[in-house]
Amino acid sequence: MLTEGKKFIIPHKGKIKKEDRQKLKGHKSAILWFTGLSGSGKSTLAHAVEEKLFEMGVHTYVLDGDNVRRGINKDLGFSEEDRKENIRRIGEISKLFVDAGIIVLSAFISPYRRDREFVRNLVEKDEFIEIYVKCPLEVCETRDVKGLYKKAREGLIKNFTGIDDPYEEPENPEIVVETDKEPLEESVEKIIGYLRKKGYLENL
Ligand SMILES: Nc1ncnc2c1ncn2[C@@H]1O[C@H](COP(=O)(O)OS(=O)(=O)O)[C@@H](OP(=O)(O)O)[C@H]1O
Ligand SMILES: Nc1ncnc2c1ncn2[C@@H]1O[C@H](COP(=O)(O)OP(=O)(O)O)[C@@H](O)[C@H]1O
């Protein structure tokens, strides 16, 4: 059995540690976890923050539906179980990025609180920064970037988050951005400001 084999997996302790990689890069590594409804602005914001960090010399990577759901998670759909497995795998991948010394920006609806908490608990306390990309359903639906809300309303897509599937709002996110109220640049500055204030970028 696959699980039985686990007891014979003995990790090799390499000499180079996460802290060494962070020192080489001149900044800490962490997960910036963007959660929110479809169309709330997760991808737009994650890429805008990445651009800003990149200009500052920070080593970054964006994980989102485009590079995860078409690849490693292409076997998963949108049932509660599949979403849980989607987030679990993304959490584990994000953790590897942190170990590599990178600031990883993970942008997924991640509608269930317990799945987000699972990822939070995979890494050290200050390595998980939850960013609630807050935007009313009506606004997301009006934006309808991919035309999926229309399809969901017509019943062509089932279990669509916000329509006939739940979204559990974060209770204590580190950062909240309100994309229907503030311009993109303001949300970007809020996130960069948080990273500066908390010392993630102190050696740059
Ligand atoms: N049923 C259903 N519910 C929600 N979203 C759906 C669904 N079917 C397809 N899509 C498209 O898939 C994107 C969400 O994928 P995620 O991996 O972020 O979802 S989850 O975290 O596992 O809930 C989401 O992309 P974003 O708009 O970027 O959020 C949608 O375009
Ligand atoms: N302040 C803002 N922040 C982010 N996106 C915004 C903002 N205002 C308007 N938008 C628009 O909202 C849409 C969000 O789409 P997207 O980033 O794909 O959302 P998500 O990844 O959450 O599905 C984009 O068309 C973007 O231009």
- Domain membership flag for residue 153: no
Cβ of 3: how many Cβ atoms within 10 Å?
Answer: 6
Please indicate, yes or no, if residue 9 is contained in any of the structural domains.
no
Instruction: Report pLDDT for 86.
Output: 98
How far does the chain reach from its first CA to its final CA, in angstroms?
48
User: Considering every ligand atom, which ligand is closest to the CA of 66?
Assistant: 1
| Assembly ipTM | 0.98
Residue-range definition of the domain harbouring residue 120: 17-134+167-197
- Residue 158 belongs to some domain of the structure: no
Q: Whose CA is nearest to atom 26 of ligand 1?
A: 38
Dump pLDDT digits (tens) for 134-145: 999 999 999 999
Tens digits of residue pLDDT in 141-167: 999 999 999 999 999 999 999 999 999
Residue 110 is a catalytic residue: yes
pLDDT of amino acid 139: 98
Examine residue 85 and state whether it is found in any structural domain, yes or no: yes
Average of per-residue pLDDT across 56-60 = 97
Instruction: Confirm whether 154 is domain-assigned.
Output: no
- Pocket of ligand 2 contains residue 134 by CB under 6 Å: no
Per the structure block, which two tokens stand in for 102? 């990178």
Nearest CA to ligand 2 atom 10: 41
Kindly report the CATH number assigned to the domain that includes residue 187: 3.40.50.300
Confidence of residue 188 (pLDDT cuts 50, 70, 90): very high
Q: What is the pLDDT of residue 5?
A: 67
Residue 86 domain flag: yes
Give 3-state DSSP helix, strand, coil % of the chain, rounded to 5. 45, 15, 40
**Which of 38, 40, 72, 113 is the pocket-test mutation for ligand 1 (most atoms within 8 Å of CB)?**
38
In a domain, 3, yes or no: no
**Looking at the 3D structure of the chain, how many domains does it have?**
1
Distance 51 CA to ligand 1 centre (A): 23
Q: How far is CA 81 from the centre of its chain?
A: 18
Q: Give the pLDDT score at 12.
A: 87
Whole-prediction pTM value?
Answer: 0.97
Measured CA to CA in angstroms, residue 203 lies from 10, 16, 40, 59 at distances of: 35, 20, 33, 13
Find the ligand nearest to 164 CA: 1
Query: CA-to-CA distance for 185 and 204, rounded, in angstroms?
Result: 21
Q: Is the CB of 97 under 6 A from ligand 1?
A: no
Question: In angstroms, what is the span from residue 175 Cα to ligand 2's centroid?
Answer: 17
Q: In this structure, is residue 156 part of a structural domain?
A: no
Portion of the chain with pLDDT greater than 70, in percent: 98
